[in-house]
Structure formats: structure tokens, C-alpha cells
């Protein structure tokens, strides 16, 4: 490979792929003038050649089979922007690396599952594997962890890294609308993945968190170790009640490494309104990193979309052409002695909402179960509902989640609840 010229092939011409073509065209001269690097788009591929697109693809060589591109001797780097809906992306990446091609991908789902094996193969074949766009779209968080913060011992990383959930929660709060209503609007606007569980079930955040915690703590990729809960049980009532006691509800991704225990979690949390995390609205992402030397550093910006994501992809191409950092950091430290924290021993306060049968003695029985699990109530209020029902809202003093889960199971068995109780941790950040 001539250092100053890189022959690029793009597979996948959807939102991100089209954005990359536009950006390469618009910025070609600028990139050359500022870095001396020439990025030449030599081939493209997608599923359907005849599909109407927002870009003119006629100047580029179309190759129908992604695997053929992965073997093309004229191509230096494959930009994989297909997604993880079938096995194609995985096959393309492996084939391309085996043929000595560098890889740029935004495929967080595939990386969270197969990143370590890709890294091993890339090392063996002495090629680059870069994936800046895979986490937080336009925020250059991967480079920050691989490069700028490399001398920092990082103890905690947390943030809002799924724009769709943040859009839904922000709209519910701003417009006083129920979850199902705002979710339908998000779907109509094309904000929700074709499999909605990826977004609203917290799985997309879990993919990104697994990548980030591996980079931050030098652990191996451990997607299965991410405790994951989505937002579909959050009601406008929870958002309003949180507001009354000074909090907002956000889907928070948290990874913490303490006393050789790694805790990775994606779940809705009550966050104090004045926290920078609570200020992030709509599809914006935010990530806070606590490092030994830097203290807390916060990164915020567009977490998705054509322009921001394409910007990250093209920056990876420039880095490859400049031969910057070959390590992908996805394989962790083989000597890492940390263990997953599965014990749920972290102490927190919780917000709880119960819809109860409105009968004498019900609250006493419920409080009894909480008390017998060592949970003490901080604040409590009751609101009558029609049809002999009542809502009971409370916050607890600090307790471990294990105790709370036992109490909630015991309460469910009392058959006094009209629906599954809602419990949301209060995160003081
Ligand atoms: N959109 C974002 O804001 C964003 C942000 C960060 C990361 N990402 C990641 O970036 C990747 C691309 O996302 P996107 O939003 O651009 O997806 P998209 O709009 O759905 O586009 C997917 C593209 O892949 C092509 N494709 C699908 N299956 C294929 C196959 N078997 N062989 C060849 N081409 C195939 C499609 O072809 P046709 O056009 O012919 O149908 C389409 O051009 C995903 O991994 C996603 O998770 C996206």
C-alpha cells in the first residue's frame, strides 16, 4: 500500500454508506491538502443495484457480490456498512482480512460478539480493524479510549448511548405522552431498528457498553456479562413522579471496575435533574469517564445519523492511511484477573411504583415484606385510582438490589398487585 493513497470499497449504501460516499466526494481535496492522503473510492456494493438512492452511484464500479470485493486485489480497505441482520457482514470481514485488506466497520452488534476473533485474525494478517462509528456515532470515543486516555487507570464509565430510547424518554417528559404513543411516533420517523428490542430492550446499548468497557478496563469482551433492561415498562407517571422529587429517567449504560469486579449494566435510572447526564435530550449521546489522572471527563454529541457517523468512518480511513495504532483493543488482557460482578451487591436507593388492590391492610402487608428484607422506606404516597385500585409510590433508603428483588418477589406472591411493580434505581451521578 502506498502510504499516501488508499483504495476504498464500501459495502452497504444505506444511511451511513451514502453519507460516507457524500463525505468522501465533498472532502477529498480537503483531506489531501491537510493530510497528504488520497482516499480513492474504487468499488461499491449493496443488496439491490436498482434501488433509488440519495446519491449518484453511476461513477463507481458496482460489484454485486460482497465476497468478490473482499478478494479484489485493487482494494486496500473494506468499509463494511451492512449491519448484522444476516451472516454477510461476518463473512465479508473475515474474507477481507484473510485477503490482507484493512477493515472499517460501524457494526457494533457484530463487534460485540465477534470483535475478539476479528482482532486476532487482523493481528495475524497485519491489517487494521477500526470501528469509531460503532459507538456514539460522531463522538470520537473509541480513539479517546485507545489513545488520548491510554495512561489513565479508568474506574468507571457511564452514559446515554442509545439515541432512540433517549428520544422516547425526552418526548414523553416534554409532551406528557405515554410510552406506546411516543414509541409509535419514533417508529414512524424511522428512528427504531427493524427489531425494536435492539433499541428499547437496551440490547444496542449493551453492545456498545461491552465494547467500551473492554477498551476502558483492558478486560476481554463480555457481552453476556452486561445486565440489560429496557424502557418499555416506564410510564409517564414514573417520569412525572421522578420530576417531582428532582430526577429525570434515562436509560443509563454503566461499567465500573472496582476491587477486581467488573459491573456492566444497561437499565433505566433516576438521575438528578442537574447532572450533565440528565441534560442530554433527544438523540444526543453522552459518555462520562472517570480516570485516575483526568478525574471525570464528559463527551457529548450526535449519537447517530448520516453526517456524524460518516465523519467517524472517514476519520478511520485517514487513520489507516496514516498508519495510526494497529491495536484494536478488543482482545483484552489475557492476564486480566477481574471477575463479573453478578452478586448485585451495590447499595442504592430505589424508586418503586405499585398498582394495588384498594383493600384494607394491603399497604401494611406490602411494607411488612419490604421491612423483612431490610428495606426501609424514605418517602411514600398513595393515589386512588378508579375501579378499586390505588397507586403507591415510594423511594427507599439505600439497600442492595438482591434484597429488593427478594422483597418484590415476595410482594408479587401476596397477590395484592394489579400489575408488575416498577422499580428504578436512583443513581447519584
Ligand atoms: N444509521 C446510523 O445512524 C448508524 C449509527 C452508528 C452505527 N450504525 C451501523 O452502521 C451500519 C449500517 O447502518 P445503516 O443505518 O446505514 O443501515 P441501512 O440504512 O439499513 O443500510 C444497510 C445497507 O446494507 C445493504 N445490505 C443489506 N444486506 C446486504 C447484503 N446481504 N449484501 C450486501 N449489502 C447488503 C443494504 O442494501 P440496499 O440499499 O440495496 O438495500 C443497504 O445499503 C450498521 O451496522 C449500523 O448498526 C448506523
- The predicted pLDDT at position 384 comes to 81
CA 235 to chain centre: 22
Q: What is the mean pLDDT of residues 35-50?
A: 95
* Sign of CA pseudo-dihedral 216, 204, 304, 309: positive
3-state secondary structure the chain: CCCCEEEEEEECCCHHHHHHHHHHHHHHHHHHHHHCCEEEEEEEECCCCCCCCCCCCCCCCECCCHHHHHHCCCCCEEEECCCCCCCHHHHHHHHHHHCCCEEEECCHHHHHHHHHHHHHHHHHCCCCEECHHHCCCCCCHHHHHHHHCCCCCEEEEEEECCHHHHHHHHHHHHHCCCHHHHHHHHHHCCCCCCCCHHHHCCHHHHHHHHHHHHHHHCCCCCHHHEEECCCCCCCHHHHHHHHHCCEEEEEEEEEEEECCEEEEEEEEEEEECCCCCCCCCCCEEEEEEEECCCEEEEEEEECCCHHHHHHHHHHHHHHHHCCCCCCCCCCCCCCCCCEECCCCCCEEEEEEEEEEECCCCHHHHHHHHHHHCCCCEEEEEEEEECCCEEEEEEEECCEEHHHHHHHHHHHHHCCCECCCCEEEEEECC
Q: What atom of ligand 1 comes closest to residue 88's alpha carbon?
A: 31
**Average of per-residue pLDDT across 80-93:** 95
Closest Cα to atom 27 of ligand 1: 82
How much is the CA Rg of the chain, to the nearest whole Å? 24
The pLDDT tens digits of the residues spanning 130-178 come to 999 999 999 999 999 999 999 999 999 999 999 999 999 999 999 999 9
Q: Which pLDDT tens digit goes with each residue over 374-387?
A: 999 999 999 888 87
Chain segment 329-359, per-residue pLDDT in tens: 777 765 565 667 665 567 999 999 999 988 8
**Ligand 1 cavity residues, CB under 6 Å:** 11-17, 45-48, 51, 66, 81-83, 86, 88, 106-108, 133, 137, 304-305, 309
- At residue 4 the predicted structure's pLDDT band, cuts being 50, 70 and 90, is confident
Q: Is residue 274 pLDDT above 60, yes or no?
A: yes
278 C-alpha to center of ligand 1: Å? 30
Domain segments of the chain as ranges:
5-134, 141-303, 347-427
Q: pLDDT value at position 337?
A: 56
C-alpha cell at 310: 460518516
Average pLDDT, integer, range 279-284? 93
Q: Which atom of ligand 1 is nearest to the CA of 84?
A: 45
Query: What pLDDT, on a 0 to 100 scale, did the predictor assign at position 344?
Result: 58
Question: 185: pLDDT confidence band, cut at 50, 70 and 90?
Answer: very high
The per-residue pLDDT for 215 is 94
pTM value is 0.94
- Judged against a pLDDT cut of 60, whether residue 2 lies above it is answered with no
Q: Quick check: 360 pLDDT over 70?
A: yes
Q: Measured over all CA atoms, what is the biggest interatomic distance in the chain, rounded to whole angstroms?
A: 81
Q: Which residues of 309-340 are buried (b: 16+ CB within 10 A; e: fewer)?
A: bbbbbbbbbbbbbeeeeeebbbbbeeeeebee
> What does the pLDDT read at residue 332?
72
- Nearest one of 209, 217, 221 to 258, comparing CA atoms: 217
* pLDDT of amino acid 340: 72
Would you say residue 21 has pLDDT above 80?
yes
What is the average per-residue pLDDT within 177-182? 96
Provide CATH code, domain 5-134.
3.40.50.720
- The three three-digit cell numbers of residue 148, written as one number: 488520548
> What pLDDT score does 336 carry?
62
In the reported structure, the alpha carbon of residue 357 is separated from the centroid of ligand 1 by a whole-number distance in angstroms of 48
Ligand 1 atom nearest to CA at 19: 16
Give the whole-angstrom CA distance, residue 56 versus residue 128.
29
pLDDT at 358 (0 to 100): 83
The residues annotated with a catalytic role in the active site are 208
What's the Cα-to-Cα distance from 408 to each of 44, 66, 265, rounded to whole Å? 54, 51, 20
| pLDDT mean over 193-197 | 89
CATH number of 347-427: 3.30.70.260
Q: Which of 15, 118, 138, 166 to mutate to test the pocket of ligand 1 (most atoms within 8 A of CB)?
A: 15
Atom of ligand 1 nearest to the CA of 49: 40
- pLDDT average, residue stretch 52-78: 96
* 260 C-alpha to ligand 1 centroid (Å): 38
**Residue of 11, 20, 44, 46 to mutate, ligand 1, most atoms within 8 A of C-beta:** 46
Distance 133 CA to ligand 1 centre (A): 13
In this structure, are residues 369 and 381 in contact, taking their beta carbons and an 8 Å threshold? no
Probe ligand 1: pick from 81, 113, 314, max atoms within 8 Å of CB? 81
The residue whose CA is least distant from atom 38 of ligand 1 is 47
For atom 15 of ligand 1, the residue with the nearest CA is 15
Distance 193 CA to ligand 1 centre (A): 11
Instruction: Tell the CATH superfamily of the 141-303 domain.
Output: Dihydrodipicolinate Reductase; domain 2 (3.30.360.10)
Whether 1 shows a pLDDT value over 80: the answer reads no
From 13, 16, 304, give the residue whose CB has the most ligand 1 atoms within 8 Å, as the site to mutate. Answer: 16
> Ligand 1 centroid to 399 CA: how many Å?
44
Q: How far apart are CA 408 and CA 405, in angstroms?
A: 5
Distance 306 CA to ligand 1 centre (A): 11
**Common-topology check for domains 5-134 and 347-427:** no
> Which atom belonging to ligand 1 lies closest to the Cα atom of 13?
43
Amino acid at each position: 500500500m502506498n502510504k499516501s493513497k488508499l483504495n476504498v470499497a464500501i459495502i452497504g449504501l444505506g444511511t451511513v454508506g451514502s453519507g460516507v460516499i457524500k463525505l468522501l466526494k465533498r472532502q477529498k481535496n480537503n483531506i489531501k491538502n491537510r493530510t497528504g492522503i488520497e482516499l480513492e473510492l474504487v468499488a461499491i456494493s449493496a443488496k439491490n443495484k436498482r434501488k433509488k438512492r440519495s446519491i449518484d452511484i453511476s461513477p463507481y464500479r458496482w460489484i454485486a457480490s460482497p465476497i468478490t470485493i473482499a478478494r479484489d486485489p485493487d482494494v486496500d480497505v473494506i468499509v463494511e456498512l451492512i449491519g448484522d441482520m444476516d451472516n454477510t457482514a461476518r463473512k465479508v470481514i473475515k474474507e477481507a482480512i484473510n485477503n490482507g485488506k484493512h477493515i472499517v466497520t460501524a457494526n457494533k452488534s457484530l463487534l460485540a460478539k465477534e470483535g475478539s476473533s476479528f482482532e486476532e485474525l487482523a493481528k495475524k494478517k497485519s491489517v487494521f480493524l477500526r470501528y469509531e462509528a460503532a459507538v456514539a456515532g460522531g463522538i470520537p470515543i473509541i480513539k479517546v479510549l485507545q489513545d488520548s486516555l491510554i495512561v489513565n487507570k479508568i474506574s468507571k464509565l457511564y452514559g446515554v448511548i442509545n439515541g432512540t430510547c433517549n428520544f422516547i424518554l425526552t418526548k414523553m417528559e416534554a409532551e406528557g405522552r405515554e410510552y406506546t404513543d411516543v414509541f409509535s411516533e419514533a417508529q414512524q420517523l424511522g428512528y427504531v431498528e427493524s427489531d425494536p428490542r435492539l433499541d428499547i430492550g437496551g440490547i444496542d446499548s449493551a453492545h456498545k457498553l461491552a465494547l467500551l468497557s473492554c477498551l476502558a478496563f483492558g478486560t476481554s469482551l463480555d457481552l453476556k456479562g452486561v445486565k440489560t433492561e429496557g424502557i418499555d415498562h416506564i410510564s409517564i407517571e414514573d417520569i412525572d413522579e421522578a420530576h417531582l422529587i428532582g430526577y429525570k429517567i434515562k436509560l443509563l449504560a454503566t461499567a465500573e471496575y472496582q476491587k477486581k469486579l467488573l459491573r456492566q449494566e444497561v437499565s433505566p435510572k433516576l438521575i438528578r435533574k442537574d447532572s450533565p447526564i440528565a441534560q442530554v435530550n433527544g438523540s444526543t449521546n453522552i459518555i462520562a469517564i472517570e480516570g485516575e489522572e483526568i478525574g471525570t471527563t464528559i463527551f457529548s454529541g450526535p449519537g447517530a445519523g448520516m453526517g456524524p457517523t460518516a465523519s467517524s468512518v472517514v476519520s478511520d480511513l485517514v487513520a489507516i492511511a496514516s498508519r495510526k495504532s494497529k491495536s484494536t483493543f478488543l482482545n483484552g488482557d489475557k492476564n486480566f484477573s477481574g471477575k463479573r460482578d453478578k452478586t448485585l451487591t451495590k447499595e442504592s436507593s430505589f424508586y418503586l411504583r405499585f398498582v394495588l388492590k384498594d383493600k384494607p391492610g394491603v399497604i401494611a402487608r406490602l411494607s411488612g415484606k419490604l421491612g423483612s428484607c431490610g428495606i426501609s422506606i424514605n418517602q411514600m404516597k398513595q393515589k386512588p385510582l378508579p375501579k378499586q385500585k390505588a397507586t403507591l409510590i415510594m423511594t427507599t433508603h439505600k439497600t442492595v438490589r438482591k434484597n429488593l428483588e427478594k422483597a418484590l418477589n415476595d410482594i408479587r406472591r401476596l397477590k395484592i398487585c394489579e400489575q408488575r411493580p416498577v422499580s428504578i434505581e436512583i443513581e447519584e451521578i
